[in-house]
Structure 1
Amino acid sequence: MLSRLALRSAAARQLAPTSLVVRGSASSGVRDEVNFPRPVRGEPGKVRLGFVPEEWFQFFHSKTGVTGPYTFGVGLITYLCSKEIFVMEHEYYTGLSLFLMVYIAMKKLAPNVAAWLDKEVETVEKEWNQGREDTLSTLEKAIADEKKAQWRAEGQEMLIQAKKENVLLQLEAAYRERAMQVYNEVKKRLDYQLEKSNVERRLAQKHMVDWIVTNVTKAITPDQEKQALDRCIADLSALAVKN
């Protein structure tokens, strides 16, 4: 157990300088999972004889072989008992009987108790993780809602732009309609002026022709009229003979 604590403290000292280097990552709001991993529930190390750490046996194994730790334990107990360093009084036998009772209880009841305790630990850990997952799901839903709101805001901008274009089209249509009205009114006035000029010209021509005809008629004497009539008859007779 002491060796494991020493290893963990040494690992913590090795990770300490790196935490100062990557402290800036906290400003970005993202957890540094590499240098600051999330805590994991520790598992007990492997033991022998119910309480002796496996590391002690490995320490003896490289020097004395497989039977070294057991020989050392039996020799140490024999030495303590033979030198009466450990006195076996009446309480010793009481402790020995209690040890046997505890050992038997561990063999019979320990698996069920360990399974129950593991189940309780897993339940507590599941509740903690469930709270974390609920928080993550809530934040993810909030992010999705925010993105949807941004998308809707962009849609509102597009709608406003479309409305502006629609208003511009309506203004353009009104402008062209009024321009056509102006064109038609101007055309009507120009057509009126043209028709007026034509009527005035026709009236002037009619009066001019009537005046000329009247004056010519007045200028022809009865003798001239008779001569012209005789000449016309002669021309018709000549034409009739030729035919």
Structure 2
Amino acid sequence: MLARFAVHQGKQISKARLLLQPRVLSTVTGSERPIRSEYPSPVRHGFIPEEWFTFFYSKTGVTGPYMFAAGLSTYLISKEIYVLEHEFYSGLSLALALIVAIKKFGPSVAKYIDKNIDEYEQSWESSRTDQIKELQNLIEHEKKEQWRTDSQKMIADIKRDNINMQLEAVYRERLSHVYQEVKRRLDYQVQLQNMERKLAQKHMVEWIVENVKKGFTPDQEKIILTRCISDLQILVNKN
């Protein structure tokens, strides 16, 4: 009965110690969040680690740790290396009082501490969730800004194309203006040459006619005039 009571009280003490200690974090994978261990390493008799017992099993068997503890205690007490003075009995009474206090007040204290831990974990989880949402909003905002930057590039390309089209239109307009000016000047030169040719022909005809007239005598003019009149009369009679 005493051993069962000690084991039970040891479990209660271990659980209370776990709740009072800072949370122990262990990483499952590199991408998952750390997880707090729910229970500590197993112990015996409330405070002795299980590893201390399993260390003796391969050499002395199951009874090895207990025989070692009993023999060491007997040796220390018999040789008065460890003296059982009044502080030892005070420690026993204090341990008994602690066991009774833990047995009576342990569940309520554990429930209160669990509630505080749950509230703290919920607040931490809510802050983590809010931070994740904020980071996601920042990512979405960054994506929108990148999209806007791409649209600005498209707008810049469109403006560049418009400027190139305007430059092309101005270039073609200037080419047309140059063509019209060159054509106008060439037309002027052609008209000038035609006018000079007409004037030259006119003066040439007038000069020839004038010289021919000078070469005719009055008798020849009368003969020619008479012949012309006769030719006209013949033409009239035929009609």
TM-score (normalised: structure 1): 0.51
Equivalences for residues 29-178 of structure 1 within 5 A: 31-33=30-32, 38-39=34-35, 42=38, 122-178=118-174
Distance across 2 between alignment mates of 1:113 and 1:189 = 112
The gaps in structure 1 that reach 5 residues or longer are 6-15, 23-30, 44-97
Q: Corresponding residue for 1:213?
A: 209
Distance across 1 between alignment mates of 2:236 and 2:176 = 66
Q: Determine helix, strand or coil for the equivalent of 1:32.
A: coil
Percent of residue pairs bearing the same amino acid type: 46
**Bigger relative CO (Cα 8 Å, ≥ 6 apart):** 2
Distance across 2 between alignment mates of 1:197 and 1:164 = 49
1:222 equivalenced with 2:218 (yes/no):
yes
Query: Which amino acid in 2 is paired with 1:32?
Result: S
TM-score (normalised: structure 2): 0.52
Moved more, 179-188 or 231-240: 231-240
Query: Which amino acid in 1 is paired with 2:165?
Result: L
Distance across 1 between alignment mates of 2:238 and 2:151 = 100
CA displacement 1:74-122 (0-9 Å, x = unmatched): xxxxxxxxxxxxxxxxxxxxxxxx9xxx7xx9xxxx8x99998776554
Deviation (angstroms), 1:183: 1.6
How many residues get paired? 156
Distance across 1 between alignment mates of 2:158 and 2:202 = 65
Query: Which amino acid in 2 is paired with 1:215?
Result: N
Distance across 2 between alignment mates of 1:195 and 1:202 = 10
1:186 equivalenced with 2:182 (yes/no):
yes
CA displacement 1:7-29 (0-9 Å, x = unmatched): xxxxxxxxx9xx8xx7xxxxxxx
1:201 equivalenced with 2:197 (yes/no):
yes
